[in-house]
């Protein structure tokens, strides 16, 4: 059990008018009281907020005007005493306050250490802790909702129910073996065991089916805009970025600095792939060649293929159609304001069942329909998609796959008539694997690794 008091700035750097320095641990209130001029913080009620000043203990000078929240254990996020010092004065003042707090006896928290304490003190389970991290990184409201639900314990409850089912069958087999003389306990049969494992198998499979959407919500739908030069790729990208607030992230250290741009299209985060390429050279195909662009396309979840309504279909267009044959494609026929020269029947034939959207980007026409089509490829007609429990975490997906395999081993064993006390081994393994999702019996080094991915101050 950790006993020191940790601190960090818990609001995003450089953003917002208010910044918060958070402390957690047994000395949180005492340390705060030492550098606070106002009420005696040792005496105030829990979960109250107080106006006062932060004093530099070295010089006795007033550093900042603040509001201080006192929250005593155990009804706090970490289940320890928590103090939050609200500073309104930007980066300089909050850093100053943090410095003073550190000088007064708190230790700088490691990334994710607050959440780690919440987990270690039993306040949240591991899948909830991971949801905190997803929440910090969420790029759209919908992604945020998924994270919030997971934090709320939705996935945990589901997993716990499944484990409970398995545990009951295991206990049942145990009783049959240990107390064969108990006539009033029905003998567990292969049929009963199969029924239970089938049930859990179905639920696990269902969860795994949400992984695609979960991954997209988490990482964005990798989207490539392709087409011949001059058809309107840049215009399309600008329209998407303009209509939807773009989030730009630079990833340094890659061979060529890839600039990723996220746009939020009706709750679906699109990650526009290779936008630097489109911006700089105006043409991805010309720049890297058809072969190489095929590779880029393979990594995309969604292809936006742009054609020119005012131009005849070329061999290059046909090649692009070939390259994207079995992919998730939306065909965009742009420049419908021009006189038609494009053979639409030919386009429809090449397009097969992919949606075709017509636009005149220069007049900002057709963007709405395009956004609809994009959202449809994600939700696939599901009405209450916002209410689903998605699995979005790579670790969870991996464990669910393992659980599914273990269940299938059990099912195969039963089919071959293997005795139940042997089948039990696979069922027990399933139970353990599911436990790892919520952090029961997880290895200590894994815990460190997981929490080290967090932002500072969470």
Rg from Cα positions in the chain: 28
Structure token pair of residue 452: 């080290």
Q: Does 227 bind ligand GDP (CB under 6 A)?
A: yes
Centre a 10 Å sphere on the Cβ of residue 245 and count the other Cβ atoms it contains: 10
Contact of residue 368 among Zn ion, ligand GDP, none (CB under 5-8 Å per partner type): none
What span, in angstroms and rounded, lies between the C-alpha atoms of 390 and 258? Answer: 29
Site track for Zn ion across 281-320, x = CB under 5 A = -x--------------------------------------
- Least Å distance between CB 6 and ligand GDP? 50
Q: Could you give the CA distance from residue 403 to residue 420 in angstroms, rounded to a whole number?
A: 18
List 10, 156, 334, 392, residue binding ligand GDP (CB under 6 A): 334
Nearer to Zn ion, 187 or 282 (CB): 282
3-state secondary structure of 14: coil
- Tell me the DSSP string of 201-259: HHHHHHHHHTHHHHHHHHH-EEEEEE-STTSSHHHHHHHHHHHS-EEEEEETTSSS-EE
Shortest CB 273 distance to ligand GDP, Å: 15
Pick the piece of the chain touching ligand GDP (CB under 6 A) from 115-123, 183-191, 293-301, 332-340.
332-340
Selection from 167, 179, 200 nearest residue 428 by Cα? 167
Between 80 and 283, CB nearer to ligand GDP: 283
Q: Can you tell me which of 335, 354, 396, 429 binds ligand GDP, judged by CB under 6 A?
A: 335
Task: Give the start-end residues of each E strand in 276-380.
Answer: 302-308, 329-334, 356-358
- Site pattern 230..259 for ligand GDP (x: CB under 6 A): xxxxxx------------------------
- Pick the closer one to ligand GDP by CB: 21 or 225: 225
Q: Which residue lies nearer to Zn ion by CB, 153 or 310? A: 310
- Per-residue binder mask for Zn ion (CB under 5 A), 206-245, x = binder: ----------------------------x-----------
Which residue intervals of 337-393 are DSSP H helices? 344-351, 367-379
Take residue 250 and report the two structure tokens written for it. 């630079």
Buried b (16+ CB within 10 A) or exposed e, 175-208: ebeeeeeeeeeeebeeeebbebbeebbebbeebb
Site string for ligand GDP, 279-318 (x = CB under 6 A): ---x------------------------------------
| Exposure class string for 48-82: b at 16+ Cβ within 10 A, else e | eebebebbbeeeeeebbebbbbbbbbeebbbbbbb
Whose Cβ is closer to Zn ion: residue 16's or residue 229's?
Answer: 229
Token pair of 300 as six digits: 């995309």
Q: Does 369 bind Zn ion (CB under 5 A)?
A: no
Cα distances from 134 to residues 142, 455, 458, in angstroms, run: 12, 11, 12
Total binding residues for Zn ion by CB under 5 A?
2
220 binds ligand GDP (CB under 6 A): no
Would you say 186 or 282 has its CB closer to ligand GDP? Answer: 282
Under the binding rule (CB under 6 A), the answer on residue 276 touching ligand GDP is: no
Question: Least distance to ligand GDP from the beta carbon of 256, Å?
Answer: 19
Nearer to Zn ion, 218 or 228 (CB): 228
Positions touching Zn ion (CB under 5 A) are 234, 282
Positions touching ligand GDP (CB under 6 A) are 227, 229-235, 282, 334-335, 337-338, 360-362
């Amino acid at each position: 059990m950790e006993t020191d008091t940790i601190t960090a700035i818990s609001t995003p750097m450089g953003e917002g008018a208010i910044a918060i320095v958070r402390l957690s641990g047994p000395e949180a209130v005492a340390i705060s009281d030492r550098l606070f001029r106002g009420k005696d913080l040792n005496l105030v009620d829990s979960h109250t907020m107080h106006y006062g000043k932060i004093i530099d203990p070295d010089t006795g000078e007033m550093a900042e005007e603040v509001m201080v929240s006192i929250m005593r254990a155990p009804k706090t996020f970490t289940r320890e005493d928590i103090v939050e010092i609200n500073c309104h004065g930007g980066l300089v003042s909050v850093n100053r306050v943090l410095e003073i707090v550190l000088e007064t006896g708190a230790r700088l928290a490691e990334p994710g250490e607050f959440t780690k304490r919440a987990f270690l003190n039993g306040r949240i389970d591991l899948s909830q802790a991971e949801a905190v991290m997803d929440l910090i990184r969420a790029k759209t409201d919908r992604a945020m909702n998924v994270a919030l639900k997971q934090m709320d314990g939705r996935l945990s409850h589901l997993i716990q129910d499944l484990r409970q089912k398995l545990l009951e069958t295991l206990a049942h087999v145990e009783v049959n073996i240990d107390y064969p003389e108990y006539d009033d306990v029905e003998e567990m049969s292969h049929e009963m065991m199969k029924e239970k494992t089938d049930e859990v198998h179905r639920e696990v499979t269902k969860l795994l089916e949400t992984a695609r959407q979960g991954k997209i919500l988490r990482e964005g739908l990798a989207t490539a805009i392709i087409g011949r030069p001059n058809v309107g790729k840049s215009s399309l990208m600008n329209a998407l970025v303009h209509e939807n607030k773009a989030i730009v992230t630079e990833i340094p250290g890659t061979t060529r600095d890839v600039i990723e741009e996220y746009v939020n299209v009706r709750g679906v985060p699109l990650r526009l792939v290779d936008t630097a390429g489109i911006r700089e050279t105006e043409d991805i195909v010309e720049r890297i060649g058809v072969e190489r662009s095929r590779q880029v396309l393979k990594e995309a979840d969604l292809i936006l293929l742009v054609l020119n309504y005012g131009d005849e279909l070329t061999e290059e267009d046909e090649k692009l159609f070939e390259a994207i044959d079995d992919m998730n494609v939306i065909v965009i026929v742009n420049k419908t304001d021009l006189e038609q020269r494009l053979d639409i029947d030919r386009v429809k034939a090449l397009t097969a069942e992919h949606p075709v959207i017509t636009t005149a980007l220069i007049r900002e026409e057709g963007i709405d329909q395009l956004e609809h089509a994009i959202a449809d490829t994600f939700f696939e007609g599901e009405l209450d998609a916002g209410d689903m429990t998605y699995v979005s975490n790579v670790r969870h997906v991996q464990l669910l796959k393992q659980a599914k395999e273990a269940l299938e081993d059990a099912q195969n064993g039963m089919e071959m008539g293997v005795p139940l006390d042997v089948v039990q081994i696979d069922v027990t393994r399933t139970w353990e694997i599911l436990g790892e999702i919520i952090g029961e019996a997880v290895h200590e080094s894994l815990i460190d690794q997981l929490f080290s991915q967090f932002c500072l101050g969470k």
